A = this chain, B = another copy of it.
Amino acid sequence: MKAEVISIGTELLLGEITDLNAAYLASQLPLLGIDLHFISTVGDNRQRLIETLNHAWQRSDIIITTGGLGPTEDDITREAIADFFHEPMSIDQSLVSQFKELFKHFNMEMPESNIKQASVIPSCQVIPNPRGTAPGWWVAKDKHVIIAMPGPPGEMQQMWLSMVAPRIQREFCDAIIFSSTMKTFSLSEAKLGEITRSFLLARNPTVGIYAKPDGIHLRIAAKADSLDEAKNLVKATTDELRPLVGDYIWGADTDTLETIIADLFIRKNFSLSTMETDTGGILANTITNVPGSLQFFKCGIVVNRSELGEGFGIDKNVISRYGPLSPEAVSEMASSVKREFNTTVGLGLAGVVENGDAAHKLGTILIGIDDGKQTYAFQRTYPGTRLQIKQRAAIAALFELRKIML
């Protein structure tokens, strides 16, 4: 079963709003086991919409449009569908009565222009809109269906969940799709591609590789007759992949490194303090993006590299002997904040985010962690802009922190 989504609205083509409806439907269709093959975006232009419906009809079974069902002149979805099927439009008087009731309920008079929204064609079945005055259309012909839904995301999602998705499942579905994401860090996309090559060529489950700011993600998706069966297929592939990818895996699905750290620290009743130089607070900021993080995050110091050694219990000799960009310095930073703020763990982070030189290349990152038993230091180099290096530094620090705390 092939589906296609058509988003309608000139404002989408001007970049004035982001198309949330297509992304929503894209995330919903796999749950029904339906493959979404295309998303098209067209302006409020009847001819171009008809052209797009033509292409869609030739290649897809289920065509879902959003937008263009409003009461104004530039709303042309109904007209385009009528033209596409060569069917005449007429006003459905029972819909007009419903609209009038609705406006009466809000003590308003129905504007004349709303009558346009009561238009129908002989082949269309009206889909009620519990949240607005734009009814949807369900037009089935020759084993194809065009489903027209309103553009406002709240109205569209309500209509989708309560009426459209159940009907599609009843009339079109046999298979179910389930997917899961494995998240890795510290491995390049290419390297992960090599390790998992045989999986990338498989058809069911399919495995896809995606580069994200927090590392490379592997998505495993399976199609089956039942949800259990699809889950089992995904699990079998995940179990095969796990030993190949090993310690680079840090989480799955909706996990972020900061939620994993928060879970771990809150569960074990640990506390954390940090000291950063060049990364300017991105580590503290990332950690405290998680609800409840203030339960375990006691203190974060951001200090200029040139002032390192003035206060916070730092041993000035370590800094003057090894320099502020050294494993010794970040270890000292970690131990100092751990001691000063009396936390389970202390973390020190430094790096070169601008003006690298021969001794310290741009993108060099130093991480120090003191867990009370031992002090660890790590050095990495990352490409990218200042912001990317900062972000990568915070993620690398949380990745190493997770490994040590487990």
Contact with B along A75-86 (1 / 0, CB 8 A): 000000000000
> Does A219 interact with chain B (Cβ within 8 Å)?
yes
Say whether, besides A13-B37, A30-B14, A302-B300, A59 and B51 are in contact (CB < 8 Å). Answer: yes
> Does A404 interact with chain B (Cβ within 8 Å)?
no
**Most B C-beta atoms less than 10 A away, residue of A42, A188, A299, A304:** A304
> Does A387 interact with chain B (Cβ within 8 Å)?
yes
Contact with B along A219-234 (1 / 0, CB 8 A): 1010000000000000
Identify which of residues 182-221 in chain A touch chain B, using a CB-to-CB cut-off of 8 Å.
188-191, 193-194, 197, 200-201, 208-211, 219, 221
Q: Which residues of B contact A113 (CB under 8 A)?
A: 190, 193-194
Complex CA gap A22/B14 in Å reads 10
Contact with B along A15-26 (1 / 0, CB 8 A): 111111011111
**Chain B: which residue is nearest A278 at the CB level?**
B294
Smallest distance from the beta carbon of A354 to chain B beta carbons, Å? Answer: 5
Q: Which residues of B contact A16 (CB under 8 A)?
A: 27, 181, 208, 210, 219
**Chain B: which residue is nearest A15 at the CB level?**
B27
**Most B C-beta atoms less than 10 A away, residue of A11, A16, A279:** A16
Q: Could you tell me if B285 and A297 are in contact, using CB atoms closer than 8 angstroms?
A: no
**Chain B: which residue is nearest A305 at the CB level?**
B294
Q: Which residues of B contact A283 (CB under 8 A)?
A: 281
Q: Could you tell me if B281 and A285 are in contact, using CB atoms closer than 8 angstroms?
A: yes
> Does A320 interact with chain B (Cβ within 8 Å)?
no
> Does A237 interact with chain B (Cβ within 8 Å)?
no
Say whether, besides A52-B38, A387-B289, A297 and B284 are in contact (CB < 8 Å). Answer: no
Q: Could you tell me if B52 and A43 are in contact, using CB atoms closer than 8 angstroms?
A: no
> Does A73 interact with chain B (Cβ within 8 Å)?
yes
Complex CA gap A20/B26 in Å reads 15
Interface residue from B26, B38, B70 paired with A211 (Cβ < 8 Å): B70
Interface residues on A, range: 35 or more
Interface residue from B40, B71, B106, B181 paired with A41 (Cβ < 8 Å): B40
Say whether, besides A15-B26, A111-B188, A291-B386, A10 and B208 are in contact (CB < 8 Å). Answer: yes
Q: Could you tell me if B27 and A23 are in contact, using CB atoms closer than 8 angstroms?
A: no
Smallest distance from the beta carbon of A376 to chain B beta carbons, Å? Answer: 20
> Does A107 interact with chain B (Cβ within 8 Å)?
yes
Identify which of residues 253-284 in chain A touch chain B, using a CB-to-CB cut-off of 8 Å.
278-284
Q: Which residues of B contact A44 (CB under 8 A)?
A: 208
Smallest distance from the beta carbon of A294 to chain B beta carbons, Å? Answer: 6
Which one, A89-97, A135-143, A238-246, A377-385, is touching chain B? Answer: A377-385
> Does A154 interact with chain B (Cβ within 8 Å)?
yes
Say whether, besides A15-B23, A18-B23, A188 and B108 are in contact (CB < 8 Å). Answer: yes
Q: Could you tell me if B304 and A280 are in contact, using CB atoms closer than 8 angstroms?
A: no
**Chain B: which residue is nearest A36 at the CB level?**
B13
Identify which of residues 356-397 in chain A touch chain B, using a CB-to-CB cut-off of 8 Å.
361, 363, 381-388, 390
Say whether, besides A74-B200, A152-B211, A179-B14, A280 and B298 are in contact (CB < 8 Å). Answer: no
Ordered nearest first, which 8 A-B pairs have the shortest CB separation?
A: A280-B288, A15-B27, A15-B26, A281-B284, A300-B302, A111-B190, A39-B41, A281-B281
Known: A37-B42, A37-B48, A292-B354. 4 other contacts (CB 8 A): A14-B219, A17-B210, A71-B190, A298-B304
